[in-house]
Amino acid sequence: MANCAIVGVNWGDEGKGRMVDLLTQEYDVVVRYQGGGNAGHTVINEHGQFALHLLPSGIFRQGVVNILGNGVALDPENLWLEMQDVMDKGVSLTPDNLKISSRASLLLPWHRLLDELEEARLADKKYGSTRQGIAPFYADKYQKKTVLAGELLYPEKLRAHLADLLAWKNLTIAGVYGAVPITMEEIDAWLESCCERIKPYICDTGAFLRQAQKAGKRILFEAQLGSLRDLDYGIHPYTTSSNTLAAYAPIGAGLPSAKIDRIVGVVKAYSTCVGEGPFVCELSGAEADKLRQAGFEYGAKTGRPRRVGPIDLVATRYGAEVQAATEIALTKLDVLSYMDRIPVCTAYRIGSEKTSLFPFPAALEDAAPVIDYMDGWKCDISGVRKWEDLPRAAQEYVLFIEKAIGCPITYVSVGPERDSIIIRKQENA
C-alpha cells in the first residue's frame, strides 16, 4: 500500500483531523511532521469529541502507531494535558502506540512569553499569532538555540544547556521588552511537572520508521494548517513558521527516504480563515454570521470566530497545486444546505485586470473577488452516504469545483462523524 499524506489546501481548519481519523483504518502508522499546538484537528468518535493540537489524529485507532516527528514544535506542557484528556475518556496511550522523536525540539517556557510580548508590541499590526510560542520556537530552532526531546534522558547535561539558553534569552525578555526575566527555578519546576511525564514516550522514531518501511508498513503523514499558511508558499508574512506542504513530510517525519504516492488535499465546501492577513472572498455582516453559525466556525484552539466566505477557487487551485494533491476530500458540504443560491469565487480582479492565478502576497490586498452563483439544494443531506443519492444541485456544485481545480474529489463529507462521508472513488474508477 502506498504512503499517504493528508494536507490542508487552504488557510487551515479544512477538516484534516476527521479525514485522518477516517483513513487510519487503512494505515499502520500516523506521523505528525510539523507545527505545534497552534492549530486543532477536531475528531468525533465513540469516545466523544476531541480537539487535538499535538497528538496525531490516528490515536483512536487500535493497532495504529502514532508518532510526533522531529519537525514538530513539541510543547511538553500542552502535550501532557492533551494526553490526560484522551486517557480520561478511555483511550489507551502507551509507548507502543505513541512515540515522540528524540530529535523533536522542545517548545520552552519563554517561547510562549515572547510570542505574547511581540504581539502586544505589534498592536494593530500583529500577524494573528495564536500565542502558543510557535514563531519564537522556530526562530530559535534555526539558530540552534533549542533543546532536543532526547536531552530529557540526559538530565545533568540538559540543565547546563538550559541554563546557557536562559541567560541568552533573558537578554531579550528584560532588555528588549522590559519584562520580568525567567528564573532557573521556574525552569526546574517546568522540567519536573511537564517533561518527566513524557520521557517514557521518547525514542529514536527515525529508526522505527525505517524498519516499518522495510517491513512494508503503510504510513500516513498528517499535516497542520494549509497551503496558504506555508512559510514559503503562503500569504507571507501571515503564515505559520513551518512548512505545511506534503513535500516536507518525509523530512519532518524523520523518514527522508519515504515516497508519498497519495496526497489527499482537504478542502472545505466554503472558505474559512482564522487570524490575520488578506482573505479575498471574505463575507461580513449578517451573511457572514449566518454561514459562521451554520458551520460552527470557531477556532479549535483559540475559540475565535473564523472569518468566512464562499469557496475561493483561485486560492484552492493554487493550494492543490503546491501540495501536488492527487485527490481532494471536500468537507462540510451539508453546511451549505440552507442557501437558495451558493456564491463561488471564480476569479480575482486587480485593478482593471481579471485573473485566475493566485497573485504574489503583496498584491492580495488589492484583489477583489469575482463571484458567480450556483443553485442551492435546500434540503438536509447529512444522512446521504451514496453519490447518486445527493440532490442534483449538490452533485453539480461538487463537479464544478472538481473541474475548476483540476483534481478529482474522491471524498465528500456531509457531517463530522466518521460515517458521514460519501466515497466517490469507486464510482469514478
Is residue 427 scored above 50 in pLDDT? no
Is residue 429 scored above 70 in pLDDT? no
> pTM (2 decimals)?
0.91
pLDDT at residue 426 in the model: 47
Task: Write the class of the CATH domain 109-198.
Answer: mainly alpha
Question: Averaged over 211-229, what is the pLDDT?
Answer: 95
Rounded to the nearest integer, the mean pLDDT of the chain is 92
| Closest residue by Cα to residue 67 from 75, 59, 76 | 59
CA distance 422 to 420: 7
Retrieve residue 195's grid coordinates. 517533561
Is residue 328 scored above 90 in pLDDT? yes
CA distance 264 to 253: 17
Domain ranges of the chain: 1-102+204-429, 109-198
Is residue 428 scored above 50 in pLDDT? no
Beta strand pairing call for 409-413 and 327-331: parallel
Is residue 397 scored above 70 in pLDDT? yes
User: What share of the chain has pLDDT > 70, as a percent?
Assistant: 95
Q: How far from each other are the two terminal CA atoms of the chain, in whole angstroms? A: 17
Q: Which residue has the cell 497542520?
A: 224
Question: Averaged over 84-105, what is the pLDDT?
Answer: 94
Question: Averaged over 177-185, what is the pLDDT?
Answer: 94
Task: Write the class of the CATH domain 1-102+204-429.
Answer: alpha beta
Cross-strand bridge partners of residue 312: 345
**Sequence-ordered strand ranges (E) for 89-160:** 98-101
Catalytic residues: 13, 41
pLDDT at residue 302 in the model: 65
Q: Show the DSSP H helices in 308-383 as ranges.
A: 313-323, 361-364
- Condensed to tens digits (0 to 9), the pLDDT of residues 108-150 reads 999 999 988 988 887 766 555 667 888 899 999 999 999 999 9
- Contact at 8 Å (CB) between 101 and 206? yes
| Closest residue by Cα to residue 132 from 282, 344, 301 | 301
